[in-house]
Structure 1
Amino acid sequence: MALGLILHSIGIITVMIAIGVGLAKTFHFNADTREVFISLIVNVGMPCIILSAIFQIEIDESVIRKIFLVFLFSIVFNVLGIGIGYLFAVVFHKKVNRAKELAILSGLGNTGFIGIPLCAVLLGPEGALYAAIFDAGVDFTIWTVGALLLQKNPRIGFGMVRTMINPPLIAIVVGMIMVLVGYHPPFFMRDLFDRLAAIAAPLAMFYIGIMTISLIQSSSASFRNSRSTIWLPVTVKLVLMPVFAVLIGKALSLDEILLQTFLIQAAMPTLTLSSILFAKFSADEEIGIVTTIISTIAALFTIPVMVTLLNLYLLR
């Protein structure tokens, strides 16, 4: 993966986020506008990225095996990240009762909003497909391990399964079924998927820019209260986890496209959903907001550095 392409993509993302920051000054960002952005990204853009990728690459037995491998790797890797985050929290912040929140913030990344569009740009349709499968593993981990970790009285039931069903996951299942039964959608549908897929990355970056300004304006006290702990999830998520992804992937002798996908997805900042997840289970919502902002900004610098350094290691 060429450094120029990485810097080019990160530069475009930075400009898009800056546009979002500018847009934040033109309207009032509230719950309704937030839902519009999320609905367009999650319900339209991301499913179309997945369907566009599925219908652009040849799905054979090798690709299907890789899909199952990516899904299993994602779950194991994310659980490992949560475990490392919890261990670090216990060791370095014994007096702070935030170990569970710090563990989730350390282990789970924004592999949907940022990861899938970025993999689509850097690695093409095949990378986008594997990135979507990786994100499905993140969703599975969020609503199983993450939910159980945050619950005061952990319960496993149908509600947990229902929360894991979302448009991107449905797109993966429907697309794979179409491929397996040999159905090829007409050019009109494929062209529609391609065009709608293009909205995901800009909208996601605009949303991050708008959300960042909105949260900074309303959460200055949160920054002050969380500054002593914020380094931990940011360091684990943006530095340690990409290194572990490459080491594990290389130990498994994975091919280049899978290694690159794992590296990019592992390097993603903390998931945007964290504050919502914490609010749902009455956890510390403030640290989720602050970590999302700081890690997203920091990722603009760490992603090109980590991807470049670890790619040099892969070429050895």
Structure 2
Amino acid sequence: MENIILIFICLLLGVFLQQIKDFPVNSHKTLNQFVIYVSLPALALYYIPKIELSSQLLYPMAVAWICFSLSFAFFWSLGRAFDWSKKLVGCLILVSGLGNTSFVGFPVIEALYGREGLETAIVLDQTGSFLVLTTLGIIVASMYSRDTPNTSLIVRKVVLFPPFIAFVIGGTLNVFQMDFIETMQTVFQKLGTTVTPIALIAVGLQLKVERHSKHWNFLTLGLFFKLFIVPAFFYVLYILILGQSGKIIEVAIMEAAMAPMITASILASSHGLKPKLSSMMIGFGIPLSFLTLAFWYWILQIS
């Protein structure tokens, strides 16, 4: 419960800080870079060496990869059909294609499914959402932030992306069944906990409710895709078509129904992909997701 309260306090704090004249105007950019260069790598170095994989976890692991692919196909098609700008399409692909599977997901899943459900959520987040963000996410951000995609530059951005470097280090340790000494694990864990407050304050600093904003229609479309179309797709695929059931499948579908990922918004913002829209997706998507999550949980219970 405290994690959910923290989310709303940090969002409101960011909005409040907009009114402080002595607060640096572009401070959200500095906070974004801190998350990318410090907080996210620390999370990877703490969690990834500890992950235990099994064949049963393939279903939740696939959620983020399929979700991002769906988002790319959906918004790329609409962008071509309606001649949307590259930056708009890139923003919608990124923010609608990645779910908030940790900051919102972990406390919600633990409350609904206990410790076993949380372990599944951690695997989904680290091998799914986090890895998609550090590979496909940075590729899309780089492609859509430039007029002419430069393959060598994109590859270089992926390879040198700090969270990806941390993922490779953590994955190597996992393969050899090793981990950092306990002192370093504690350091990484504490640095990793800065992701939520800093990222959400950065979002709040950019969040402005403009009644006549041109983004409202795209906000509605992006959230409808993320909160309804994506979980419906996995419900049909996993339960109705593949005939799967059980707690792992339910956790996978609930994670698919989470609000847009905070760090996806930061990635979009740092690449100039409609920062206002990406912030609105987070600011409105997180509160709304608590209602839609209740709906999907009810659907799973009566299935």
Fold agreement, TM-score > 0.5: yes
Q: Secondary structure at the match of 2:177?
A: coil
Letter in 1 for 2:188: F
Contact 1:119 1:128 (8 Å CA) reproduced: no
Contact 2:226 2:257 (8 Å CA) reproduced: yes
| CA displacement 1:39-91 (0-9 Å, x = unmatched) | 3212221222222223455x25x17x847x66655333212223223445677
Tell me which residue corresponds to 1:303: 289
Per-residue deviation, 1:187: 1.3
Task: Decide which of 268, 281, 286 is 1:274's aligned counterpart.
Answer: 268
Aligned in 2, Cα 1:137/1:176: closer, same or farther, shift over 3 Å? Answer: same
Task: Decide which of 210, 222, 237 is 1:248's aligned counterpart.
Answer: 237
Per-residue deviation, 1:194: 1.6
Aligned in 2, Cα 1:125/1:18: closer, same or farther, shift over 3 Å? Answer: farther
Gaps of 5+ in 1: 280-284
Tell me which residue corresponds to 2:115: none
> How far, CA to CA, are the matches of 1:15 and 1:210 in structure 2?
13
Gaps of 5+ in 2: 111-117
Per-residue deviation, 1:150: 7.2
Contact 1:237 1:269 (8 Å CA) reproduced: yes
Per-residue deviation, 1:234: 3.3
Q: Does 1:85 pair with 2:75?
A: yes
Tell me which residue corresponds to 1:293: 279
RMSD: 3.5
> How far, CA to CA, are the matches of 1:40 and 1:113 in structure 2?
21
Q: Secondary structure at the match of 1:164?
A: helix
Contact 1:103 1:233 (8 Å CA) reproduced: no
Per-residue deviation, 1:203: 1.0
Aligned in 2, Cα 1:121/1:25: closer, same or farther, shift over 3 Å? Answer: same
| CA displacement 1:199-229 (0-9 Å, x = unmatched) | 111111111111215xx6xxx69x5344455
Aligned in 2, Cα 1:113/1:305: closer, same or farther, shift over 3 Å? Answer: closer
- TM-score where L is the length of structure 2: 0.75
Contact 1:49 1:194 (8 Å CA) reproduced: yes
| CA displacement 1:8-67 (0-9 Å, x = unmatched) | 644431122112222333343444x3343123212221222222223455x25x17x847
Task: Decide which of 167, 178, 181 is 1:172's aligned counterpart.
Answer: 167
Q: Does 1:260 pair with 2:251?
A: yes
Tell me which residue corresponds to 2:113: none
- TM-score where L is the length of structure 1: 0.73
Aligned in 2, Cα 1:236/1:105: closer, same or farther, shift over 3 Å? Answer: farther
> How far, CA to CA, are the matches of 1:144 and 1:224 in structure 2?
28
> How far, CA to CA, are the matches of 2:119 and 2:192 in structure 1?
11
> How far, CA to CA, are the matches of 1:196 and 1:275 in structure 2?
22
